[in-house]
Amino acid sequence: MARTLNGEVDIVIPTIRSLNFLEDWRPFFEPYHLIIIQDGDPTKEIKVPEGFDYELYNRNDINRILGPKANCISFKDGACRCFGFLVSKKKFIYTIDDDCFVAKDPSGKEIDALAKHLENLTKPSTPYYFNTLYDPYREGADFVRGYPFSLRAGVPTAVSHGLWLNIPDYDAPTQLVKPLDRNTRYVHAVLTIPKGTLYPMCAMNLAFNRELIGAAMYFGIMGDGQPLGRYDDMWAGWCTKVVCDHLGYGVKTGLPYLWHSKASNPFVNLKKEYNGLFWQEEMIPFFQSVILPKKCTNAQECYLELAKQAKEKLGPVDPYFNNLADAMVTWIEAWEEFNAPAKVKNGTA
């Protein structure tokens, strides 16, 4: 499966560290194109291991390419990765952090995470009715008795959210009280997250169909100069889930696993997350009550409507949300610039 799709996939990596982790992924990633977003000091030279096909952007490149719209791309936060989603021309994106390595399944076999994501994304989802044997499209499984035949075709899958062995994706307070917690539990399952249910999306091991949902996969303004960090993937997860629910697309979570090796500093994380720990009590009810109008028929239209509603409902919580809503609009302007349909000249594109 993976080999046949390699012209349709970009791998996006945000980094403030080293790219040595790519050695571990070489057999799996070498056939693909990498888009690397170098965060922090743009004068620092980073080394991409030999043999990988890649493009690399630092902050100066982002400023030059986007001009005044560059202010919608975060600096000093993993949220900068969404610049890669913007400039990609591929159908599928896989994004991974630079401290993630190849995990092994319980039989000891190395997991080709990208291949599994592509399988998840190219098979339908079932958001309207839960299958108690989980993924009905998996070999050796099917829809159970009582599953309506009218729903067995499923819907297109827009997002595949993979998990992590070793260091779990905890918030800072949980990291502080459970510093030794390690995830050793391999659950052999892929689930469609039901329509109307939100989830905490983590960008460490995430794939999506850029054509279906890319415009809504915006990681917000976080980090440098902002009162919030580390809510980049949460925000994008809530936005994409409500847009998928509205447009009739599916979101899956579960397999594949990778190995997350490095716990980020919980004290530093607490500083970054602090406001978010309060604001999430307002943000989540907002997303739970969002209703997108019928006239919104694609991800861009839904996203602009979401920006409008976020300003109205979350602006009173803190002025930050007015700026975030403005940045969401700028993001869509940039998205439309980069993803304009090819101009037709004399009948040929």
Ligand X SMILES: O=c1ccn([C@@H]2O[C@H](COP(=O)(O)OP(=O)(O)O[C@H]3O[C@@H](CO)[C@H](O)[C@H]3O)[C@@H](O)[C@H]2O)c(=O)[nH]1
| Interaction between residue 39 and ligand X (CB under 6 A) | yes
Q: How many residues bind Mn ion (CB under 5 A)?
A: 2
Q: Which residue's CB is nearer to ligand X, number 39 or number 305?
A: 39
Q: How many residues bind ligand X (CB under 6 A)?
A: 22
| Interaction between residue 99 and Mn ion (CB under 5 A) | yes
- Cis, peptide link before residue 200, omega less than 30° from 0: no
Q: Binding residue for ligand X (CB under 6 A) from 59, 94, 97, 171?
A: 97
Give SS3 for 270.
Answer: helix
99: nearest Cα among 258, 231, 285, 209: 258
Beta bridge partners of residue 55, listed in sequence order = 35
Q: Shortest Cβ distance from residue 268 to Mn ion (Å)?
A: 12
Residue 15, binding choice from Mn ion, ligand X, none, Cβ under 5 to 8 Å by partner class: ligand X
Encoded tokens for 275: 């406001």
For 280, other C-beta atoms within 10 Å of its C-beta total 17
| Interaction between residue 273 and ligand X (CB under 6 A) | no
The DSSP call for residue 163 is E
| Interaction between residue 232 and ligand X (CB under 6 A) | yes
DSSP state letters, 116-169: HHHHHHHS-B-TTS--TTS-TTSTT--PPTT--GGGTT-B-EEEEEEEEEES--
> Is residue 218 a contact partner of residue 236, using CB atoms and an 8 Å limit?
yes
| Interaction between residue 202 and ligand X (CB under 6 A) | yes
Q: Shortest Cβ distance from residue 152 to ligand X (Å)?
A: 34
| Interaction between residue 169 and Mn ion (CB under 5 A) | no
Q: Shortest Cβ distance from residue 95 to Mn ion (Å)?
A: 13
Distance of alpha carbon 117 from alpha carbon 256, whole angstroms: 7
Q: Binding residue for ligand X (CB under 6 A) from 233, 245, 273, 305?
A: 233
Distance of alpha carbon 189 from alpha carbon 140, whole angstroms: 13
Per-residue contact string for residues 227-266; x = within reach of Mn ion by CB under 5 A: ----------------------------------------
Please report the beta strands in the chain, taking only residues with DSSP state E, as ranges in sequence order. 9-15, 33-38, 53-57, 92-96, 100-101, 157-166, 190-192, 205-209, 250-260
Q: Which residue's CB is nearer to ligand X, number 78 or number 250?
A: 78
> Is residue 117 a contact partner of residue 8, using CB atoms and an 8 Å limit?
no
Q: Which residue's CB is nearer to ligand X, number 135 or number 233?
A: 233
Residue 17, binding choice from ligand X, Mn ion, none, Cβ under 5 to 8 Å by partner class: ligand X
166: nearest Cα among 186, 136, 193: 186
Which one of the spans 3-11, 115-123, 197-205, 237-245 is the region binding ligand X (CB under 6 A)?
197-205
Q: Shortest Cβ distance from residue 302 to Mn ion (Å)?
A: 30
| Interaction between residue 240 and ligand X (CB under 6 A) | no
Distance of alpha carbon 188 from alpha carbon 140, whole angstroms: 13
Distance of alpha carbon 200 from alpha carbon 161, whole angstroms: 10
Give SS3 for 146.
Answer: coil
Which one of the spans 53-61, 92-100, 144-152, 278-286 is the region binding ligand X (CB under 6 A)?
92-100
Q: Shortest Cβ distance from residue 342 to ligand X (Å)?
A: 32
| Interaction between residue 171 and ligand X (CB under 6 A) | no
Where along the sequence are the contacts to ligand X (CB under 6 A)? 14-17, 39, 76-78, 80, 97-99, 169, 202-204, 223, 230, 232-233, 262, 264
Where along the sequence are the contacts to Mn ion (CB under 5 A)? 97, 99
